[in-house]
Amino acid sequence: DVEVPESHPRYESLLTRHRIEEGVEKGITSKQGLIAQGRGEAFDYLLGERTIPSAREAERVAAAYLLLAEHPVLSVNGNVAALCPGEMVELAEASGAALEVNLFNRTPERMQAIVDHLREHGAEEVLGLTADGRIPNLDHERAKVDREGIGTADVVLVPLEDGDRAEALAAMGKTELVVDLNPMSRSARSATVPIVDNIVRAVPNVTESVRELRDASRQELEAIVEAFDREAALAAAERAIREGGEE
């Protein structure tokens, strides 16, 4: 194990990088996942490695959507499984959402390794292995989902998603909650709720908001959702990157 001194100015970032490396070693994360992480880190650095206010608001809106949903699903890929497995399990429990492993580069070995990894982190049921549903207009392997999971979900949290798949899910009419550090990515742009934040900070924040809003009425939740302006959230994130500050 690599020892990172806590006093290091970029301690969190180095720890996160180390988790991705371990994910690759365990057969959970793809090699492309390393590249994706590097890209994410660059945006996180420009954002100041913090949750900007507009992202925190989007996280609260995402929580309201999860609580309003009939059939919410949290999608887990190789990066998410390596970075925050326990936090995803906690969010699933707090919100009543199902967990589904859903890979861009799908292999049976990695599917199983991630299902096992989530179970080790306390998940009871993990969807994804049945693969009896399809996302229209994607090639075979990339289209696979579980019918009783993402296939019939009304609200889906898709962290670090590839642009084609994010757009295809949006075209199916799903409410997409996308966590992506790049506010210019097609995934963020096709989202109902773009959350421009690091997944390691975003998931615990959404869970915190779910707990705060658990006793809110449907009317209150609907008001939160309706007040959200996705274009303004994307613009605020871009501004934070360009100007090193926000709002």
Per the annotation, where are the binding residues for ATP? 17, 39, 180-182, 186-187, 198-199
Among residues 23, 36, 111, 127, which is the contact residue for ligand PTJ, using CB under 6 A? 36
Question: Count of residues binding ligand PTJ (CB under 6 A)?
Answer: 25
Check binding of 39 to ligand PTJ (CB under 6 A): yes
Whose tokens are 């959702």? That residue is 225
Per CB under 6 A, 146 contacts ligand PTJ:
no
Query: How far, in Å, CA of 84 to CA of 207, rounded?
Result: 13
Which DSSP state fits 3?
-
* Window contacting ligand PTJ (CB under 6 A); options: 4-12, 72-80, 146-154, 212-220: 72-80
**185 in contact with ligand PTJ (CB under 6 A):** yes
Q: Which two tokens stand for residue 147?
A: 């019918």
Where b means 16+ CB within 10 Å and e means fewer, 148-172 reads bbbbebebbbbbbbbebbbbbbbee
Exactly one of 58, 181, 193, 206 binds ligand PTJ (CB under 6 A); that residue is: 181
CB of 47 to ligand PTJ, least distance (A): 10
Collect all residues with Cβ–Cβ distance below 8 Å to 225 and sequence separation of at least 6. Answer: 61, 64, 65, 68
Nearer Cβ to ligand PTJ, position 52 or 103? 103
In angstroms, the CA 67 to CA 63 distance is 6
The yes or no reply on residue 23 touching ligand PTJ (CB under 6 A) is no
One-letter amino acid at 204 equals: P
> Nearest Cα to 118, choosing from 142, 102, 101, 137?
101
Applying CB under 6 A, the span of 87-95, 142-150, 154-162, 170-178 interacting with ligand PTJ comes to 154-162
* Chain centroid offset of residue 70 CA: 19
Q: Which residue is nearest to ligand PTJ (CB)?
A: 40
Give contact residues for ligand PTJ (rule: CB under 6 A): 30, 32-33, 36-37, 39-40, 43, 77-79, 83, 103-105, 160-162, 179-182, 185, 198-199
